[in-house]
Amino acid sequence: MFAGNFAPPRLGLCQGQLLPISQNDALFSILGTTYGGDGRTTFGLPDLRGRVAMGPGNGPGLSAYREGSKGGRENITLTVSNMPSHNHTATFTQTSGVSTTPAVAEEANSDDPTNNSLAIPSIGGANKIYSSDTPDANLSNGNVNVEGNVNILNNGSQQPFDIRTPYLGINYIICLQGIYPSRS
């Protein structure tokens, strides 16, 4: 890491630049095309702009990561499939609750209940049990049909939220020329 805004001599900023192999053959022998390039004339430096450096491999109970692999996101939007099973409180608002039937003490003159009241069945009047006369009583049968509404509203606005860890912008640098590191 380097807190300056430039790369000191013989060092390069890790910003994904492509370098010619012919001028940087020692560094190419270490990096190869892990970070980009065609491997014939160019190779890439690591690009750590906007990224957190992480060691390759996997620790106990952690996922495996290859050297040079990229991943992660700055923000995410949760969907219902991301949420654990849960329920919401619902409030029922009753809008009616009394069941009455209008009736008249008159002989029935209709078989249609629409806009009519229950009446005294007419003798021989085949299925006529309703009257168009003005009702003079309300019968209650003890059964109540309750009607109302239950509304469970959607919450949230599906806005992405930040999932980054706290960060500090600082340059990463890599040695372009110097003592070749020994593998032993």
Map out the domains of the chain with their CATH numbers: 1-52+168-184 (3.90.1340), 92-150 (no CATH)
Report pLDDT for 60.
Answer: 92
CA 24, CA 43: separation in Å to the nearest integer? 9
- Mean pLDDT computed over every residue of the chain: 86
CA atoms within 13 A on the CB side of 103: 12
Mean pLDDT of 6-27: 96
Strands 42-44 and 18-20: antiparallel
96-112 pLDDT tens trace: 666 677 778 888 888 88
Q: Is the pLDDT of residue 31 over 90?
A: yes
133: CB partners within 8 A, 6+ apart: 104, 106, 109, 117, 119
Task: Encode pLDDT of 111-151 as tens digits.
Answer: 888 888 877 887 765 778 888 888 887 777 666 667 777 77
The string of pLDDT tens digits covering residues 162-172 is: 888 888 889 99
What is the pLDDT, as a whole number, of residue 145? 65
User: Per-residue pLDDT tens for 34-68?
Assistant: 999 999 999 999 999 988 888 899 889 988 999 99
Prediction pTM value? 0.60
What is the structure's pLDDT at 100? 73
